[in-house]
Amino acid sequence: MKRRILLVACLVGVCAAPLAAQTPRETKLYAQLALTPPMGWNSWNKFACNVSEQLIRETADAMVANGMRDAGYVYVNIDDCWQVSRDSLGFIQADPQRFPSGMKALADYVHSKGLKLGVYSDAGWRTCAGRPGTRGHEFQDAKSYAAWGVDYLKFDWCNTDNLNAHGAYQTMSAALRQAGRPIVFSLCEWGSNKAWTWAKDIGHLWRTTGDITARFEGTVDHGTWKSLSAMAILDLQQGLRQYAGPGHWNDPDMLEVGNGMKVNEDRAHFTMWSMLAAPLIAGNDIAHMTPETRAILTNTEVIAIDQDSLGVQGLQYSASDSVEIWFKPLANGDWAMTVLNRRTTPQRVVFDWKKQEVSDSLSGRATHFASTVYRLRDLWADKDVGSTSRPLAVEVPPQDVLALRLRRQK
């Protein structure tokens, strides 16, 4: 009887082979993904469980029409609540009312727009919204995703009882590698198990904190858990930069740009995520956003800081009286610099370049301001603003940023 059950399981594609059994081709396909932080959109922050085929198609259309695709956003990710049940063989089923054409047809439509489709599941018996989880069906689900044409999987950590996170995510990683299609693997265990210390060879990005909310400062207490503001999450990134790099990224959660914060707060949030080399996964209503929101999300010069091929996460150089100065080394010898004002009043900042030296042991780079002159580019004003030959003296608006690109003067 046991032999018959095993045979049926293998026929439906759920035989679990060890990670070491991966072919060189499978390993190469997986390793070449996410060489820069993934960019795209996810349904949860704005729509929660109210997802549908129509929403995904409209979002894909909008991302093409409003320039987001051309700015680098390629993943259209469906979060929780797309799935409702399993069939008699255990295959996961999409909600037939909300996704009447099926997931393969939806993936084909998204691909026809020059975009990629992502889906969501959970390592436990149930997802966070109570839908069927993947526990016990990892290899079967991975084969379904590959057959549909899925390009990205966000894998959550609700209802996992006493599961070992390392083992659970390693199992899903092995399943994806054997599924026959390159799929970006996003670990969403909220930083509870310090995935950054063990997930480099398992997935492409891992959550470092609990869920974000559309607030600039503070937290929101939900009783049994708390959602975190953009700045609260920023503070929790300290000490993690050495774990990030091409193909493996710290994920401080999805963007809340366009979801209710002020424009200046959105601008600061987006800038700091770019300085962190974080995945840029928008979470707003793409089809109905304001011109201000669109301008933030499609600022190609700020995006270039995030997507820089060197893949080094920025470092906090100084912090005093709620004013922080950050630097990020870039691939061609440039640097990014951000002055973040977290206060509710404008702050005057003076930075004498020749008296400062920024040295980054992680990248082995240093600015050498005393002997090297850089031209300054204001990334939000879209203009050149002098050079490091003179001290920087600026007033940074409340809860806002000054973002500069420093180009070595030839």
DSSP output for 356-396: ---EETTTTEE--TTT--EEEEETTTTEEEEETTS-EEEEE
Helix (H) or strand (E) holding 341: strand 335-341
Token pair recorded at residue 173: 């990683």
CATH architecture group of domain 315-408: Sandwich (2.60)
* Separation CA 239–CA 114 (nearest Å): 37
State residue 409's pLDDT score.
85
pLDDT-based confidence at 23, cuts 50/70/90? low
pLDDT averaged over every residue in the chain: 94
pLDDT at residue 321 is higher than 70? yes
* Spatial contact of 69 and 20, defined as CB atoms under 8 Å apart: no
State residue 2's pLDDT score.
38
Closest CA to 251 of 117, 130, 77: 77
Residue 406, helix vs strand vs coil: strand
Token pair recorded at residue 54: 């129509």
Per DSSP, the chain holds a count of helices (H) and strands (E) of 12, 22
> What's the pTM?
0.94
State residue 134's pLDDT score.
98
Q: Which fold has domain 14-306?
A: TIM Barrel (3.20.20)
CB-based contacts of 308, cutoff 8 Å, min separation 6: 36, 277, 328, 330, 331, 336
* Separation CA 204–CA 244 (nearest Å): 10
* Spatial contact of 141 and 107, defined as CB atoms under 8 Å apart: no
Q: For residue 318, which phi and psi values (nearest 5 degrees)?
A: -155, 160
Token pair recorded at residue 53: 């085929």
pLDDT digits (tens, 9 = 90+) for 278-317: 999 999 999 999 999 999 999 999 999 999 999 999 999 9
Residue 129's Cβ-side half-sphere holds a number of Cα atoms within 13 Å equal to 14
pLDDT digits (tens, 9 = 90+) for 67-122: 999 999 999 999 999 999 999 999 999 999 999 999 999 999 999 999 999 999 99
pLDDT digits (tens, 9 = 90+) for 181-218: 999 999 999 999 999 999 999 999 999 999 999 999 99
* Spatial contact of 114 and 69, defined as CB atoms under 8 Å apart: yes
Active site residues: 156, 211
Given this chain, do its domains 14-306 and 315-408 carry the same CATH topology? Answer: no
More reliable by pLDDT, 145 or 4: 145
Q: Which residues pair with 348 in a beta bridge?
A: 395
Cα distances from 296 to residues 175, 290, 400, 403, in angstroms, run: 37, 10, 13, 13
Give, in degrees to the nearest 5, the angle at Cα 93 between 88 and 98. Answer: 145
- Distance from chain centroid for Cα 182: 18
pLDDT-based confidence at 9, cuts 50/70/90? very low
- Give the start-to-end residue ranges of the domains of the chain: 14-306, 315-408
The set of long-range contacts for 264-269, using a CB threshold of 8 Å and a minimum separation of 24, is: 264/397, 264/398, 264/399, 264/400, 265/216, 265/230, 265/399, 265/400, 266/292, 266/293, 266/296, 267/296, 267/380, 267/400, 267/401, 268/216, 268/230, 268/340, 268/399, 268/400, 268/401, 269/216, 269/230
DSSP output for 80-125: TTSEEEE-TT--EEE-TTT-TT-HHHHHHHHHHTT-EEEEEEESSS
Closest CA to 195 of 121, 252, 129: 252
* Separation CA 168–CA 385 (nearest Å): 51
Helix (H) or strand (E) holding 324: strand 323-329
* Spatial contact of 198 and 225, defined as CB atoms under 8 Å apart: no
- Distance from chain centroid for Cα 315: 18
